């Protein structure tokens, strides 16, 4: 299926709405170097539209692991749960940081399924987050407990 084209203007709108960070793991674009990718939250292969409501920013790791999935297994229950929808759900209701921001915890079936499916605590990613923590780049200030 041909991919719908996303204009630079639309990409900028999506990036701004996602606060210029991965909508899943909250990795900011400014600290990873390459541009974050545009993710179809509901994949085009499943009928997802190329409109602002169905588009968000994702880092290459989250986006490649998510691929065309919309659901995954919650490792705590073994039940299928919908993956996190950044434009319909609130990140803080589904995720929290532990170990000073190095490890992402799923708080709900959706959060746990998303953390597992997107491999959001891959050892290399956790090691990188630990380096970012030492220089004060992580976790994002808005993710700190109030
Ligand atoms: Zn990510």
CB 145 within 8 A of CB 87: no
Compute the distance from residue 5 Cα to the ligand 1 centre, in Å.
22
Compute the distance from residue 116 Cα to the ligand 1 centre, in Å.
12
Specify the pLDDT at position 117.
98
Residues 50-65: tens digit of each pLDDT: 999 999 999 999 999 9
pTM tops 0.85, yes or no: yes
Lowest mean pLDDT among 46-55, 61-70, 86-95, 135-144: 135-144
Burial class (CB in 10 A: 0-12, 13-18, 19+), 115: buried
The rounded distance, in Å, linking the Cα atoms of 112 and 75 is 7
Lowest mean pLDDT among 1-5, 42-46, 53-57, 89-93: 1-5
Mean pLDDT of 98-118: 97
Compute the distance from residue 128 Cα to the ligand 1 centre, in Å.
13
Specify the pLDDT at position 55.
97
């Amino acid at each position: 299926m041909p991919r719908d084209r996303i204009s630079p203007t639309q990409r900028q709108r999506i990036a701004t709405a996602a606060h210029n960070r991965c909508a899943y793991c909250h990795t900011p674009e400014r600290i990873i170097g390459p541009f974050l990718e545009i993710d179809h939250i509901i994949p085009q292969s499943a009928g997802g539209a190329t409109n602002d409501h169905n588009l968000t920013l994702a880092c290459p790791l989250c986006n490649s692991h998510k691929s065309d999935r919309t659901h995954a297994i919650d490792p705590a229950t073994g039940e299928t749960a919908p993956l996190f929808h950044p434009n319909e759900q609130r990140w803080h209701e589904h995720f929290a940081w532990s170990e000073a921001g190095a490890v992402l915890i799923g708080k709900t079936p959706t959060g746990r399924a998303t953390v597992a499916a997107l491999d959001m605590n891959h050892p290399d990613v956790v090691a990188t987050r630990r380096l970012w923590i030492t220089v004060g780049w992580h976790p994002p200030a808005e993710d700190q407990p109030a």
